[in-house]
A = this chain, B = another copy of it.
Amino acid sequence: MPLSDIITGMTLIIAVDIGGTQIRAAAYRRGSTTPETVQRTPTRGEGTAFERLCGLIQSIWPEHGTVEKIVVALPGPLDPETGVIFSAPNIKGWENFAIAPELSARFGVPVKIGNDANLAALGEWRFGAGKGHHNLLYITVSTGIGGGIISDDRLLLGERGLAAEIGHISVMPDGPLCGCGQRGHLEALASGPAIARFVESELGAGAVSTLQGRSPLTARDVSEAAAQGDALAIRALQTAGTYIGMALANFLHLFNPSVVIFGGGVSFSGDYLLEPVKTTLHQQVMNASYLQDLVITRAALGDDAGLLGALALGLLPDN
C-alpha cells in the first residue's frame, strides 16, 4: 500500500453493474482499473433485488479506507439527475424506483447511476477502444440495440437522461414491430432476435439451411452457421449489417463522431455483419468528410464494460 494511503486512508470508488442475470460489484482505487475486490450475485433469488444489491455492496465494503462514491450501471431508462430508474426488465418493483437516493441513505455516500449502454460508451471512451477520441458513438448489438454518444468529451444525456436510444431510430417505416411498440426501428431489424426471426421466416418460406429444424434459434446459432459457410445465415447477418449501416449513416450526419465502437455479442459474429455496415455507410453518407479519419472498431472492455463504465462515471468531476 502506498504511504499516502496509509496516512490518508485509501479512497475507493465502488462500481456496480446490474444485469438481467447477475449483479457485479467492484471496488477500485482512483487511478487503477484493476479492482481491489470483486463480487457477484444472481439478480434474482432470495429477498428483493435491492436487498441483494445492498448485501453485495456490503460484502466488498473496505475494512480500512474510505468509499468516495458508489456508481451503478443499470439496464433500463433512468434519470441520472434524480437517481430514479423508470423500469428495469426482469426486476420486479423497480418501476420509478429512487435507487440512488435509497442507496445513498443506506451507505452514507454519494451515489450516481447510469444506463448501462451509456456507461459502456463512457468506459470505452476513458479506458477502451475510444481512448483519445472526443466524439464517440458506441453501439451494442445483442438482445436489444443500445448505445451511447460522447460529444466533445461529454456523455450525451438529454433533458431526462433518455438520449442516445440509438436502437429506436426508424429504418423502415411500417417495418416489423419493435419491443418498444413502434415499427421499423433498428432494434426490430438488426438485434439478435431479429436476426433469428429473419432466418426462421426464410426457412418458413422454403430456404435451405443447416439451421433447418433448430428451435429455439438464436443469433449465436446463426453466427456459427455463417462461420461454417451457411448461405442463409450469412445472408441474415448481411441483412442486419445493411440496416445498421443505414442507421449509422444517419448517426454520422447527426453526431459526426471520430470513432464508432461496436459492442454486444452479435457484433463479434465475424465480418459478415460489419462488412455490409461499412459498405452501406460508404454508399449512404452524404459527404466523404464524415468518413475521413473515422475509426470503426470493436469494443475493448468485454464483460467489464459495465463496471469500468461505472468507474469512468465515478471519475468524472461532479457538476
Contacts and interface: CB of A to CB of B under 8 A. Distances in A.
Contacts of A172: 173
Contact of A135 (B158, B181, B256): B158
B256 A160 contact: yes
A162 B284 contact: no
Nearest to A151: B156
A250 B170 contact: yes
Interface stretch (A67-75, A216-224, A271-279, A286-294): A286-294
B77 A161 contact: no
A166 interface: yes
A5 to B, nearest CB: 35
Q: A interface, by DSSP: helix, strand, loop or mixed?
A: loop
Interface size class of A (residues with CB under 8 A): 35 or more
A164 interface: yes
Interface in A163-183: 163-166, 168-173, 178, 180-182
Number of copies of this protein chain within its complex: 2
Given A154-B154, A181-B286, A182-B286, A159 B171 contact: no
Contact of A249 (B170, B246, B257, B258): B170
A255 B289 contact: no
A253 B286 contact: no
A152 to B, nearest CB: 7
A250 B171 CA distance: 10
Nearest to A134: B159
Contacts of A164: 254
A157 interface: yes
A158 B169 contact: no
Interface of A: 77, 86, 134-135, 149, 151-152, 154, 156-166, 168-173, 178, 180-182, 185, 246, 249-250, 253-258, 284, 286-287, 289-290, 292
Given A159-B257, A159-B258, 6 more contacts: A152-B157, A162-B253, A163-B255, A170-B249, A171-B173, A178-B286
